[in-house]
Amino acid sequence: MRNGSLTGARGVVRLSIQLLVFAVPLAAAPALHAASPTYAYVANNLSNSVYVIDANANSLVASIPVGSVPTELAITLNHKYVLVTNQYGGTVSVISTASNSVVATIPVGAYPVGVATSPNGKLGYVTLAGQNAVVAIDLATFTVSGTVAVGPAPTRVSITPDGSFAYVSNQNSNYISVVDTSTLTVVGTISIGPSPYGLAFTPDGNFAYVAVVGANEVAVINTASLSVIARIPVGQNPTDVAMTGDGSLLYVNNQHSNTVSVIDTSTNSVVTTILVGADPSGIAVSPSQKVVYASNYLSNTESVIDTATNTVVATVPVGSNPNGVIIANVPRQH
């Protein structure tokens, strides 16, 4: 994705998104404690693979073949499955975190990009950039359960913390679609600026932060009024955003600046800028909030940022053109 167009220089929609929710057979989330290993999952666009990295040792654990041009990832509530959108394959791969293998493939439609899981673990949502739609997926059966039309080239989706609404970035537009998840209908739109992309909510759900690629800024939305209340200048071509678990900091990838901006959400201002690799495209904060992984699309690496110092402390080689990345504690198997 460059300059607000649907596809990048390589014909690939470049998103780090967040949001597909699938219904996997599960009841409540397991108690994930400090003993649970922490792994990063990286979608490698041109390797057609997902790398699994031990986030404590910053070392490769597994390389998992998936579909054509894997782009974004999300994890289910019980942390037993990782969902991966295969942009050119028109499918979602379901990876077992226990076996690090694909256990299901779900046909979804043209150019799936963004994916996220619902807070209750029952549904997943996937954006179809080629059909201007979002599909809902039943995670108990791994089948599509519904479709809703949104704006042009939807590339990201994020669910409010209470699960009531899905916010959808329509890349080839200047607005976000707000979808009521109970009825799977669009209930509002928010004018945001040219080429909205990555989204993240504060833990209380009161505010949403959206990367606006065409304006080189992050827009802050009041979710009660569905209005923009602040605009924060960042680097060139901001794409992905990741919020710390406590909601105090937002990390923003700036693709054309090769940097990550760090925003203090209490003041809505940039407090520091971190130099990373070439063309950062995806970003994720660890559950401990101690590290951030930034996917460097043209360097084929992950930059590991220490959040205490906001400096790069390690660089991890990955596959060809890494895009989406997530970090999660995975329960040990017995």
pLDDT, tens digit, 9 for 90 and up, residues 264-291: 999 999 999 999 999 999 999 999 999 9
**Residue 147 confidence (pLDDT):** 98
User: How many residues in the chain?
Assistant: 334
**Residue 35 confidence (pLDDT):** 56
Query: Is the pLDDT reported for residue 332 higher than 70?
Result: no
Calpha distance 322→334 (Å, rounded): 32
The C-alpha angle 142, 144, 150, rounded to 5 degrees, equals 140
User: How confident is the model over 176-190, as a mean pLDDT?
Assistant: 98
Is residue 297 exposed (0-12), middle (13-18) or buried (19+ Cβ within 10 Å)? buried
Calpha distance 84→93 (Å, rounded): 5
DSSP 215: G
Helix (H, G, I), strand (E, B) or coil at 54: strand
End-to-end CA distance of the chain: 42
Q: Which two tokens stand for residue 127?
A: 């954006």
- Cα dist. 13→82, 110, 122, 142, 251 in Å? 20, 12, 27, 24, 21
**Residue 108 confidence (pLDDT):** 98
Nearest to 81 by CA among 50, 59, 55: 50
Q: What share of the chain has pLDDT > 90, as a percent? A: 88
Helix (H, G, I), strand (E, B) or coil at 279: coil
User: Per residue in 112-126, pLDDT tens?
Assistant: 999 999 999 999 999
**Residue 259 confidence (pLDDT):** 98
Mean pLDDT of the chain: 91
- The residues spanned by each domain of the chain are 38-329
Q: Count CA atoms within 13 Å of residue 186 on its CB side.
A: 18
Phi, psi of 220 (to 5 degrees): -110, 125
Superfamily grouping for domain 38-329? YVTN repeat-like/Quinoprotein amine dehydrogenase (2.130.10.10)
Would you place residue 311 in the very low, low, confident or very high pLDDT band (cuts 50, 70, 90)? very high
User: Per residue in 59-105, pLDDT tens?
Assistant: 999 999 999 999 999 999 999 999 999 999 999 999 999 999 999 99
Query: Is the pLDDT reported for residue 142 higher than 60?
Result: yes
Q: Which residues contact 100 (CB under 8 A, 6 or more apart)?
A: 52, 61, 62, 64
Phi, psi of 257 (to 5 degrees): -100, -10
- For the chain, give the longest Cα–Cα distance: 50
Calpha distance 214→202 (Å, rounded): 23
Query: Is the pLDDT reported for residue 32 higher than 80?
Result: no
Calpha distance 23→6 (Å, rounded): 29
Phi, psi of 210 (to 5 degrees): -125, 130
24 or 201: whose pLDDT is higher?
Answer: 201
Q: Which residues contact 69 (CB under 8 A, 6 or more apart)?
A: 12, 45, 46, 48, 86, 87, 88, 89
Q: Which two tokens stand for residue 130?
A: 């080629």
